[in-house]
């Protein structure tokens, strides 16, 4: 078993480009929205983790494959799951879907280090780790 | 006399939208680039002002008029001047031009408060004020 | 009576800056989300208006006042109303609120021209005009 | 031998996040700037390739590793090279450097399809292919 979540985003005009599709870089912003939703689904606020637990999860790697375009005003579903949980690192995987279109529009993965506000590697709060790996 | 500067930006693909022009919100980012150039031209780094002088200039108002579109890969010139210098506030005005096109593509103005890192109103460093009003 | 709507946005990490608040330029993106919601509330899709009715509403002016900062993960309410409806122009006004904080965090206004895909001024589709001014 | 280029970008305030570093998604925008510079260095304008040659290079994959943070106002050097040239596909690789800091801050790769304005796969213009593989 592994932590999963489903997020919804609607493509903004600002997120399109002159090719008439969503600019590819925007998917990484959506992935950010999606993993924070996953963490929220476990009962944690990433904002509180930063402010109260001195935990930060800077992105150490990011990748995506863009299989089919998405368009302005599309309502997209982002399916996220925990892909890896290390001592001081974590990775998430993502699939972007649009209702009525078979297969994913895009897939991706982000890797993160667990650090404190000084940038030093640290362990995850115990309760967060427990729920992530439940 | 008043402090002025000229900045250059090239329109990025990410900055276009599906109307095939620059997304209007991007001009406010360019204004930020432009006023920091103006400050640099006076011999100051805005980064150093934040880090070493504990000065921040959050935007309290922003406005723009969009007269003609700009397009992907256009090289634009942003002409900036100091519009107002108060005890703890400052305003800049901007004109965006493209070589060969008469008149401004856009004009704008931003107002800023002078605050410290705690968000408290403060005076400008004396030397900065002096050069701004030279 | 005038057309109004209420939109909800949650501040993304990508939308913050190193001052620890929402970057001011992001509010103009939210205004875009908000006016499209208003149009949707009247029974129209802005996407369909572009694709099927050959109507575009490029921004001709934009302004905002930033009264109090918003922060990462804040859930904000954007209250939008139609401010002006001309023959081939339209303007919207916006207020950004956060539950529990009295007064608006920000206010704004955008003006738009009604043009076709060639950039020529045109009238609004009759039914849209009717509902906007109902 | 392979096509290479060096680009320069200065980190904008809008590109930072509340961690006080450049938001990771921004690197993909810089990569776009960088590969267009590479193409320009070969004597082609990507804009003209779109407009006059009906060539588009949508991103089909993108990845990056973030090794060290970059900060507001940093002047960064992006070293780009052609990594792969297929019949109707192309890939670029990137390294982001900051003067005085040994090693890359980030590395990345983007893959692209060659399509026309209808999204159909097509060959590269012969002269572009020749110079890319020179």
pLDDT at A1 over 70: no
pTM above 0.90, yes or no: yes
CB C65 within 8 A of CB C107: yes
Please state, in angstroms and as integers, the Cα–Cα distance from residue A46 to each residue in A37, A127, B126, C7, C74, following that order. Answer: 9, 14, 41, 23, 12
Query: How close is the nearest chain C Cα to the Cα of D15, in Å?
Result: 7
Record: contact B47-D73, CB cut-off 8 A? yes
| Residue pLDDT, tens place only, C57-83 | 999 999 999 999 999 999 999 999 999
- H or E element at residue C31: helix C26-41
pLDDT at B1 over 60: no
Q: Average pLDDT of chain A?
A: 96
pLDDT at D1 over 80: no
Nearest beta carbon to residue A66 from set D32, D61, D66: D61
Nearest beta carbon to residue C19 from set B21, B56, B67: B56
Reduce the secondary structure of A59-89 to three states and give it as a string.
EEEEEEEECCCCCCCCEEEEEEEEEEECCCE
| Residue pLDDT, tens place only, B9-26 | 999 999 999 999 999 999
CB D57 within 8 A of CB D113: yes
Q: How confident is the model at residue A12 (pLDDT cuts 50, 70, 90)?
A: very high
Quote the DSSP letter at residue B68: S
User: Within an 8 Å CB–CB cutoff, is residue A17 touching chain B?
Assistant: yes
Nearest C-alpha neighbor of B46 from the set D26, D13, C25: D13
Question: Which residues of D are catalytic, by number?
Answer: 17
Confidence at residue C127, expressed as pLDDT on a 0 to 100 scale: 95
Nearest C-alpha neighbor of C73 from the set C15, C130, C118: C15
Q: What is the mean pLDDT of residues B71-76?
A: 98
Test the D interface: residue of C17, C28, C69 with most D CBs within 10 Å: C17
pLDDT at D127 over 90: yes
Question: Which residues partner with B108 through β-bridges?
Answer: B64, B94
Question: Which residues partner with A65 through β-bridges?
Answer: A107, D61
Q: Average pLDDT of chain D?
A: 96
Confidence at residue A28, expressed as pLDDT on a 0 to 100 scale: 98
């Amino acid at each position: 078993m592994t932590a999963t979540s489903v997020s919804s985003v609607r493509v903004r005009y600002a997120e399109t480009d002159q090719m008439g599709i969503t600019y590819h870089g925007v998917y990484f912003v959506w992935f950010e929205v999606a993993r924070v939703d996953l963490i929220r689904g476990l009962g944690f606020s990433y904002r509180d983790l930063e402010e109260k637990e001195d935990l930060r999860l800077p992105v150490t790697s990011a990748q995506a494959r863009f299989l089919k375009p998405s368009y302005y005003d599309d309502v997209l579903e982002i399916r996220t799951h925990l892909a890896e949980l290390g001592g001081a690192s974590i990775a998430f995987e993502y699939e972007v879907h649009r209702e009525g279109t078979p297969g994913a529009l895009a897939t991706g993965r982000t890797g993160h280090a667990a650090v404190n506000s000084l940038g030093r590697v640290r362990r995850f709060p115990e309760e967060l780790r427990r729920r992530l790996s439940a």
